[in-house]
Amino acid sequence: MVFIPDRKQQKVLSELSNTHNGFGLCSFENLARIKDSKTFSITNKSRFWNDRCEEILHTWNDTNKVFHYFPDNYQKKMIASREFESLFLTQILVTLENDLDSLERKKKKKKQLTQDEEQNYVMLLKLYSKFFNIGLAGIERLVPSEFHQIIYEQVESIKTLMRAIDSYTQRLAPNQVISSKFPFEKQELGL
């Protein structure tokens, strides 16, 4: 079925065309549906969002395949770009933080999460521990060698604390201990 926009929709499409010059991720009609689902109706929401998700995943996959072929200075240029920072800091981390806050509120209210919520919580724990490990490894590699011992001691105290939390969790809720384990081992931290 061919999409024929009405006057109001045509105005939105023209604005998108002007403000998103060179946009190639999806059609302007789909971009309009993403931004304004009231003016641009979505008939099959599940399929629509799944298709948009696949477009983004395909783009990320393509980026992943070619990124390492770029010279180092251009890789760093992309990583240090405002676009990457905006995606990572104002989109991805904010989404994860909001999700974690929501799960923690639910956990406090009802003391027990549903299986889907528990799986989401486990995924968040894994993601945060990966980000934490990346950050610690980066700090350890970037500080002057005179500070390596101090960093190592601080990391050891964090690992001891995390092991104590794991042990405490195991005593209180043995069936949830696998989901709460933090991978704070030397080889995973790059220390």
| pLDDT tens by residue, the chain, 191 residues | 677 777 888 888 888 888 888 888 888 888 888 887 778 888 889 999 999 999 999 998 999 999 999 999 999 999 999 988 888 888 888 888 888 888 888 878 876 777 777 777 777 877 777 787 788 778 878 888 888 888 888 878 887 887 777 677 667 665 554 555 555 554 444 44
Check whether residue 45 and residue 101 sit in a common domain: no
pLDDT value at residue 186: 46
pLDDT of res. 46: 92
Domain range for 36 is 25-69
Q: Is residue 119 part of a domain?
A: no
Q: How many domains does the chain have?
A: 3
Query: What is the pLDDT at residue 73?
Result: 94
DSSP for 45-104, please give it.
HHHHHHHHHHHHHHHHHHHHHHHTTS-HHHHHHHHTSHHHHIIIIIIIHHHHHHHHHHHH
Q: Are residues 108 and 140 in the same domain?
A: no
Residue 43 lies in a domain: yes
Both 62 and 77 in one domain: the answer is no
pTM of the model: 0.60
